[in-house]
Structure 1
Amino acid sequence: METTDYPLSEVPKDKRKGLLSISVILLGFTFFTSTMWAGGSLGQAFAFEELLSAIIIGNLLLGAYAAALGYIACKSGLNTALMGRFCFGEAGSKLSDVILGFTQIGWYAWGIATIAIVLVKTTGLSESFEIPLMILFGFAFCITAMIGYKGLDWLSRIAVPAMMLFILVSLYTGLVDAGGLAGLMGQEPSESMSFAAAITVVIGTFVSGGTQATNWSRFAKSPRVAVIATMAAFFVGNGLMVLTGALGSLIYQQADIVDVMLAQGFVVLAVLMLFLNIWTTQDNTIYNFAVAGCNLLRTDRRRLVTVGGAIIGIVLAVGGMYNMLIPFLVLLGTFIPPIGGVIMADFWVKHGGSYPKLQEASLPAFNWTGLISYAIGSAAAYFSPVLPPVIGVFCAMLCYTVLVKALAQQPALGEVRG
């Protein structure tokens, strides 16, 4: 039986990791191309000072959300999929597994298609190489995920410092080309967007990833390590990605760091950045899929599930389905944050800040309190005109808290056993 990375149980205390290890993995996860594209839409819509305010506020909210889940993950040793058993029930948790897993495999398909297409475009190869490259990268990117935490850690320790250096070089070059801070301050926006919409875009860039960052924060040696590492990744790391995309769009009319570096003449660095940027997110993404898949199937054969997920991602990419999946995946981003809201309320309100051991817990098949709260939170997010992710999390937490308090003397109404 495969027991690496504890897909169906708590991470033991003697297997926990320090701040550097957790931080580089989470930073590698948040260094992602699509985040820069989102930043590009902001760069064209705001003056520089207002742009910075939107990035700081949005990523502070995103970081706080991810850090709260990171704290729970470290305290319990559980990831989001396993915590779902407590708040949704043994069978009910399969709903969140499907939502989380499908989102990740969709992004995996998008990632391997993106690197194949961009590499062909950058190097001048024939378009006939696109499909073979999708297949190659689809299997290659899952290698470190198959190894598990150690593989992700090893890659991130090399890739994150390199990417940070490339980004700083590019930002400095861009600042010079723009005429310094004075030049940036003088840039006039060419598009329009409300400040609330900008905050929503910033949070939406990686709120799905923040919900599943528990896969690594549960390995933290202490809650303090989990919170600091998560904030570093989702406030600083994700914020840097949004800022890079915004400035690239502002200065070069290109949001992606690879396109910006090509425009700056850094061809070799651009290709290296492309590989590292995509790889460090892809292996984390397929790892997320495997964790959700293990809980869904109740199997600890994480490596087998990882390979299966990679094959599904390759099929989606080669079939061109990734083009149709992106709008749906963005929509799912509205429905993922309420899962985190229910988990937080369940942990602090119902369980008083401490879960029992998963193997010893007597869990219902369906926890209707959690499922109803999730449905209400998702509906609130979907119909909210402002800050859907924030509204979804808040409403799910509030609903769960109210129901738990109201049903405290009547638990049978909140839980139905199979």
Structure 2
Amino acid sequence: MSVTNSQDSQTVDQSQAEEDYPLTAVPLYARKSFLSMAFMLLGFTLYSGTFFAGGLVGPAFRFFPDLVGLLVVGNLILGGYAAALAYIASKTGLSTVLMARFSFGSVGSRWVDFLLGFTQVGWYAWGSGLIADLLNQLAGVPESWNWLIILFFTYFFCITAYIGYRAMDWYSRIAVPAIIILMLWSLTISANQIGGFEGLQAVQPSGELGIGAALTIIVGTFISGGTQATNWSRFSDSPRTATLSTLAAFFIANGFVVFGGAFSALVYQNSDMVMVMARQGLLVAGFILLFLNMWSTQDNTIYAFSIAFSHMFRTKKRTFFVLIGATIALALAWGGIYESSQFINFLILLGTFIPPVGGVVMADYWLYRRGQFPSLDEPQPAFNWAGIAAYVIAAAIAYFTGKAGIGIAPVNGIIIAAVLYPILTKVIPQPTGTTALK
């Protein structure tokens, strides 16, 4: 029996509906249109933190065709990966952490919960620190107030996530058009400042970064988000809606933000578009941009954490974990995560260790189960050793090939995991199910 069919009735526990179905498939009557999905996912990917990835990559390459080509390829990889998972989510109504129960086992999937949830709460904490830092630099707010700024925004931005999909949907419909307009305004001024295309071509690369490392950074900035975009694409009214809206968000919108950071770094030697807008005399507009895009991503980020940890602890109380996640992020932000010198390494590690999860999940759905997951009520083994082994091997290969500059670490991880999993399911005996999700 397919998951979708088993859940396609209005007898779904009302408490699951009120909590956005953290432990069940989203029923067909609760699905959303392309417009709703597009705004939601665009809001998720239009994130200030992604500017910094563009700033890391931009100065190391000639603008065209080198930099532009890297941005297209990197975001196409990211968009294609996220869209493939989105397709499965729409067909089944499941989030990635629920899919992982089949490919990693009922207990083994808790590693996926932790990996995806922790990275999201880390981004949430980093975002709170970013806001405090920009207020220090641009508004002259004393650093002694940072603890209060971080406290306020950490809990303020989780309001829409606490309410759930409907609140995040309507906020994104307001924020996304405004964010795009403000970014285009700033980029137009930047282009005029440097002398258009000819001026950009005249800028000589000033950094040293290999193509593989650059693509890993581009993909790594949002690979965790792409792996968890299923939290929203599972609400899509059709696989077409899920695929196109996710591709638009992760290829076009995320690419636009990375491009904005790279462009700003080339023109002003500063990838932070808010700082750039201040230099352009658009300080108020810069603050509006910061507020809108931080909120539109932060609420999605802490929402993703709540889905992952609801599954980890097998509880329907998603809203409880919104508050728990915000509190953990608060502690990390107060602890100085934004100022950490290891942030670049964090980006690269995200681009290395998370993609194999998606590779295993996709191989399990398409190659092993032939496009149909069993019912969530069907008992699963505690550990699916084929999935675990495929993940560990793929992650290790991605890490070492990335360090050696062989290929593109995220792509290596996805491909190796997807190839290994069906092979290992034939080699490693599959235990009978012992644990059903309650």
Q: Give the TM-score, by structure 1 length.
A: 0.95
Does 184-193 or 2-11 show the bigger shift? 184-193
Match of 2:21 in 1: 6
The alpha-carbon deviation at position 157 of structure 1 amounts to 0.6
- Are the equivalent residues in 2 in contact too, given 1:99–1:332 (CA < 8 A)? no
Specify the code of the residue in structure 1 equivalent to 2:136: V
1:36 paired residue number? 51
Q: Which residue of 2 aligns with 1:403?
A: 424
Name the structure 2 match of 1:155: 171
How many Å separate the matches in 1 of 2:205 and 2:351? 27
Picking from 333, 354, 372, the partner of 2:372 is 354
Alignment pair present for 1:20 and 2:35:
yes
C-alpha distance after superposition, 1:44-87 (max 9, x if no partner): 11111111111111111111101000001111100011111111
Q: 2: distance between equivalents of 1:323 and 1:260?
A: 20
Deviates more, 1:202-211 or 1:1-10: 1-10
Tell whether the 8 Å contact from 1:103 to 1:329 is kept in structure 2 after alignment: no
Name the residue aligned to 1:300: 316
* Aligned-partner residue type, residue 349 of structure 1: L
2:395 is aligned, of 378, 393, 396, to 378
- State the match for 1:222 in structure 2: 238
Q: 1:212 aligns with which of 228, 244, 248?
A: 228
Gaps of 5+ in 2: 1-13
Q: CA 1:195–1:329 in structure 2 vs 1: closer, same or farther (change >3 Å)?
A: closer
Matches within 5 A, 1:318-333: 318-324=334-340, 326=343, 329-330=346-347, 331-333=349-351
The structure 2 residue matched to 1:254, chosen from 241, 265, 270, is: 270
**2:154 is the alignment partner of 1:133:** no
User: What CA distance in whole angstroms lies between the structure 2 residues aligned with 1:206 and 1:65?
Assistant: 11
> For the residues of structure 2 that align with 1:319 and 1:193, how far apart are their CA atoms?
30
Does residue 84 in structure 1 map to residue 138 in structure 2? no
1:121 to 132, 137, 140: 137
Match of 1:391 in 2: 412
* Contact residue 220 and residue 350 of structure 2 kept, 8 A: no
TM-score scaled by structure 2? 0.91
Once the two structures are TM-superposed, the CA of residue 304 in structure 1 deviates from its matched residue by: 0.9
Q: Distance in 2 between matches of 1:378 and 1:170?
A: 39
**CA separation in 2, counterparts of 1:394 and 1:99?**
19
CA RMSD, Structure 1 to Structure 2 (Å): 1.6
Percent identity between matched residues is 48
- Aligned pairs, number: 413
* Separation (CA, whole Å) in 2 of partners of 1:401 and 1:411: 12
On the 8 A contact 1:106/1:322 being kept in 2, the answer is no
How big is the shift at 1:208? 1.2
1:293-327 CA deviation, whole Å, 9 max, x = no partner? 10001000111111111111111111224544746
Question: Are residue 234 (structure 1) and residue 250 (structure 2) matched?
Answer: yes
Whichever residue aligns with residue 290 of structure 2, its letter is L
| 1:65 aligns with one of 81, 100, 117 | 81
Q: Is the 8 A contact 1:31 1:277 kept in 2?
A: yes
Unmatched tracts of structure 1, length 5 or more: none
